[in-house]
Each structure stands twice: as structure tokens, then as C-alpha cells.
A and B are shown apart, each in its own frame.
Chain A
């Protein structure tokens, strides 16, 4: 296990289409987080899982966004009816406790 893996690395989609991203955390990490980062800004929190339970969601996570972690291992983030404003880097991170976060390389979404 070499770290947090995110797929795909890049995604270009047409406005209105649905997209799904996947995150595979470090295997022993029970906490998983999704962040969104736009150009020139720091990452913004989207949602947090402890095992399979989604314990926190940001107001940024509109009804078009949904995240799952069905077996407490990998997680998916789906965006429905994408808009141009959804274009960003989507980062996943995992930790065993709240102390040591490890980030993935991110999925860069471009909505055209």
C-alpha cells in the first residue's frame, strides 16, 4: 500500500453529465475525507467518513453531490448534472486518527 489512490487523475465532461470519482485510502485508515480545491485557493472541506458512516457534510455539498463509502474501505464521490462551477481538483485524504492526514493526488475535473 503506497498511499491514497484517486481515480481518474483527470476528467473532462460536458455540462449536465454525471461523473463519479473513486478514492482508495490507506488500508488501515478508518477515516476518509473529501475536499475540493479551486485554482489559487486552499482545499475546502466537503465530507467526512468514519468507517462506512458519513458523519459530516459541508454546505458546499449540494444536492447534486453524493458520497459513499459502502464497506468502510474505498469511497466514491458522484456529481450529477455537472455545472461549469464544479470544475476543480477533488482531493481525498485518509487518516487513522485525526492527527496524520495523507492526501491523494486528486482528480481534476473540467466541465465544458
Chain B
């Protein structure tokens, strides 16, 4: 069964600190992996997209890594800001016709002043 699991479920960090979110997946055949940021009551916004041949990709203070062999990904947030408080969702695309997306349940991050 295609699944995406994320950890931790929730996280509280102090403003300015770094954090790393984890994602494990069992989606096959793998096409690409995305990290989205979702503010409460809003739609997800894409942070990074990686194919199997990419093992790291950055977007400002966000850096995603991908290990296609172990089927693991991480999202590292550097120098956190209050506006980083949101849910971070790992999404894996299966290479089945229309690129079906399999969503994780997300990590809820709270950045505290």
C-alpha cells in the first residue's frame, strides 16, 4: 500500500532555532517527492520538489534531502521565524498515469517567541 509517514507529529521550537522534519514513504513506482507548507485554513504551498536523481534542494531557509534508496526525506528549517508556524506536508507522487499524489498527515510546527 502506498503510504507516507511523517515525524514528529508536532514540534515546538524557539524563534531562531533550527529544526528537521522527517518523512518515510513506501510509494511505488516513485516519481517525485514534494514538501508543502500549509497555513491554517489555507491551501498547501509548494516548498521543494525532488526527483529520484536529486538528493538535496534548497528554497531560502528550507533545505530538503532525499534518499531514494532508504525512501526517506527530511526538511531542514534554518533560523526559524514566527511565520514558519504551519503544517509541513510531505507528498510523494506515484508514476501512475496522472501522477497521483500520496500525502502524509503533516508535522505541525509552532515557532515560539
Contacts and interface: CB of A to CB of B under 8 A. Distances in A.
Contacts of A45: 100-101
Interface string B14-47: 0000000000000000011010100001111110
Interface string A38-63: 00111111001010000110000000
B42 A48 contact: no
A99 B42 contact: no
- Interface magnitude class on chain A: 20 to 34
Contact of B44 (A6, A31, A43): A43
A42 B98 contact: no
Contact of B42 (A40, A42, A44, A106): A106
Interface in B90-113: 91, 93, 97-101, 103-106
A91 B43 contact: yes
Contacts of A89: 41
A105 interface: yes
Interface of A: 4, 6, 31, 40-45, 48, 50, 55-56, 89, 91, 93, 98-106, 108
17 contacts: A31-B98, A41-B105, A42-B91, A42-B105, A45-B100, A50-B98, A55-B97, A56-B100, A98-B31, A98-B98, A99-B32, A100-B49, A101-B34, A103-B36, A103-B43, A105-B41, A105-B42
Interface of B: 4, 31-32, 34, 36, 41-46, 49, 89, 91, 93, 97-101, 103-106
Given A56-B98, A100-B46, A105-B41, 8 more contacts: A4-B43, A6-B43, A42-B104, A45-B100, A98-B93, A99-B49, A103-B36, A108-B41
